[in-house]
Structure 1
Amino acid sequence: MDNEQTNRRIGKLDAIKSQGIPVYPERFSTNYELHEAALLEDGTSSVRVAGRIIGIRSFSKLSFITLSNIQGSLQLLLKKEEIGEVSFNQFHDLLDIGDFIGVEGHMYTTKTHEKTLRIESYVFLGKALRSLPEKWHGISNIELRYRQRYLDLIMTKDTQNRLLARTQMVRSIRRFFEDQNFFEVETPVLQHTSSGAIAKPFKTYHNALDTQLNLRIAPETYLKRLIVGGFTKVFEFAKCFRNEGISPQHLQEFTMVEGYAAYWSYVDTMKLMRDMVLFILEKTFNSTTITLQGQTIDFSSEWDIVSFRDLILIDTGIDIDLYPDVKDLFEETKRKNIDLEHSEIESLGRGNLIDLLYKKMSRPQLVKPTFLIEHPIDLSPLARANDDNPALTDRFQLVVNGAEIINAYSELVDPLEQRRRLEDQALLKSNGDLEAMEMDEDYLKAMEYGMPPISGWGFGIERLLMVLTDSDTIKDCVFFPLIKKL
Structure 2
Amino acid sequence: MSENINHSQNTEEVQNLNEILKVRRQKLGDLQSKGKDPFKIVKYDVTQKTKEITDNFDEFEGKEVSIAGRLMAKRGMGKTSFCDIQDRDGKIQLFVRINELGEEAYEEFKKLDIGDIIGVRGTVFKTKMGEISIRVHEYTLLAKSLRPLPEKFHGLKDTDTRYRQRYLDLIVNPEVKKTFIMRSRIISAIRSFLDSRGFLEVETPILNLIPGGANARPFITHHNTLDLDMYLRIAPELYLKRLIVGGMEKVYELGRMFRNEGMSVKHNPEFTLLEVYEAYTDYHGMMKLTEDLYLHVADTVLGTRKFEYQGYEIDLSLPWARMTMTEAVKKYTGIDFDTIASDDEAVALAKEKGLDVTGKTKKGEILNLFFEEFVEEHLIQPTFIMDYPVEVSPLTKRKPDKPELTERFELFIVGREMANAYSELNDPIDQKERFLAQLRKREQGDEEANMMDEDFIIALEHGMPPTGGLGVGIDRLVMLFTNSYSIRDVLLFPTMKPRE
TM-score tier (shorter): over 0.9
Question: Does residue 346 of structure 2 align to residue 346 of structure 1?
Answer: no
Structure 2 distance, partners of 1:115, 1:9, is 31
Query: Residue type of the partner of 1:416?
Result: I
- Corresponding residue for residue 384 of structure 1: 397
Deviation at 1:294, TM superposition (A): 2.4
Structure 1 distance, partners of 2:274, 2:57, is 42
- Corresponding residue for residue 79 of structure 2: 61
Deviation at 1:44, TM superposition (A): 4.2
- Corresponding residue for residue 205 of structure 2: 188
- Corresponding residue for residue 268 of structure 1: 285
Question: Structure 2 residue aligned with 1:174, among 177, 186, 191?
Answer: 191
Structure 2 distance, partners of 1:353, 1:432, is 18
Contact kept in structure 2, 1:200 and 1:243, CA below 8 Å: yes
Q: More deviation in 454-463 or 157-166?
A: 157-166
- Corresponding residue for residue 84 of structure 1: 102
Question: Structure 2 residue aligned with 1:3, among 9, 15, 18?
Answer: 18
- Corresponding residue for residue 479 of structure 2: 466
Query: Residue type of the partner of 2:173?
Result: T
Question: Does residue 464 of structure 2 align to residue 451 of structure 1?
Answer: yes
Deviation at 1:352, TM superposition (A): 5.0
Question: Does residue 88 of structure 2 align to residue 70 of structure 1?
Answer: yes
Structure 2 distance, partners of 1:334, 1:71, is 56
Q: How many residues align?
A: 478
Query: Residue type of the partner of 1:244?
Result: E
Structure 2 distance, partners of 1:209, 1:327, is 48
SS at match of 2:38: coil
Q: More deviation in 273-282 or 323-332?
A: 323-332
Structure 2 distance, partners of 1:265, 1:247, is 33
Cα deviations across residues 86-126 of structure 1 (Å, max 9, x unaligned)? 22211112x11011001111212223332212211111110
Deviation at 1:328, TM superposition (A): 3.6
- Counterpart mapping for 1:282-361 below 5 A: 282-323=299-340, 327-337=344-354, 339=355, 345-348=357-360, 350=362, 351=364, 353-361=366-374
Query: Residue type of the partner of 2:221?
Result: T
Structure 2 distance, partners of 1:44, 1:331, is 80
- Corresponding residue for residue 49 of structure 2: 33
Structure 2 distance, partners of 1:374, 1:266, is 10
In structure 1, runs of 5+ residues without a counterpart are none
Structure 2 distance, partners of 1:219, 1:334, is 36
Structure 1 distance, partners of 2:128, 2:380, is 46
Contact kept in structure 1, 2:208 and 2:230, CA below 8 Å: yes
- Corresponding residue for residue 220 of structure 2: 203
Question: Does residue 483 of structure 2 align to residue 485 of structure 1?
Answer: no
Query: Residue type of the partner of 2:399?
Result: N
Contact kept in structure 1, 2:183 and 2:490, CA below 8 Å: yes
TM-score, normalising length from structure 1?
Answer: 0.94
Q: More deviation in 352-361 or 11-20?
A: 352-361
Structure 1 residues 356, 72: closer, same or farther in 2, change over 3 A?
A: farther
Question: Does residue 272 of structure 2 align to residue 255 of structure 1?
Answer: yes
Structure 1 residues 349, 154: closer, same or farther in 2, change over 3 A?
A: farther
Contact kept in structure 2, 1:349 and 1:428, CA below 8 Å: no
Contact kept in structure 2, 1:382 and 1:411, CA below 8 Å: yes
Question: Does residue 447 of structure 2 align to residue 434 of structure 1?
Answer: yes
Query: Residue type of the partner of 1:380?
Result: S
Question: Does residue 231 of structure 2 align to residue 219 of structure 1?
Answer: no
Structure 1 distance, partners of 2:341, 2:117, is 66
Percent identity at matched positions?
39
Contact kept in structure 1, 2:326 and 2:367, CA below 8 Å: no
Question: Structure 1 residue aligned with 2:67, among 49, 53, 61?
Answer: 49
Q: More deviation in 410-419 or 149-158?
A: 149-158
In structure 2, runs of 5+ residues without a counterpart are 1-13
RMSD over aligned Cα, in angstroms? 1.8
Query: Residue type of the partner of 1:67?
Result: I
- Corresponding residue for residue 19 of structure 1: 34
Structure 1 residues 334, 110: closer, same or farther in 2, change over 3 A?
A: farther
Cα deviations across residues 190-231 of structure 1 (Å, max 9, x unaligned)? 111111011111111111111111111100000001111120
Cα deviations across residues 49-68 of structure 1 (Å, max 9, x unaligned)? 11111111124222221122
Structure 1 residues 476, 445: closer, same or farther in 2, change over 3 A?
A: same
Query: Residue type of the partner of 1:281?
Result: A
SS at match of 1:347: coil
Structure 1 residues 244, 332: closer, same or farther in 2, change over 3 A?
A: same
SS at match of 1:445: helix
Contact kept in structure 2, 1:105 and 1:121, CA below 8 Å: yes
- Corresponding residue for residue 6 of structure 2: none
SS at match of 2:83: strand
Question: Structure 2 residue aligned with 1:367, among 371, 380, 384?
Answer: 380
- Corresponding residue for residue 128 of structure 2: 111
Query: Residue type of the partner of 2:42?
Result: E
Structure 1 distance, partners of 2:311, 2:195, is 35
- Corresponding residue for residue 415 of structure 2: 402
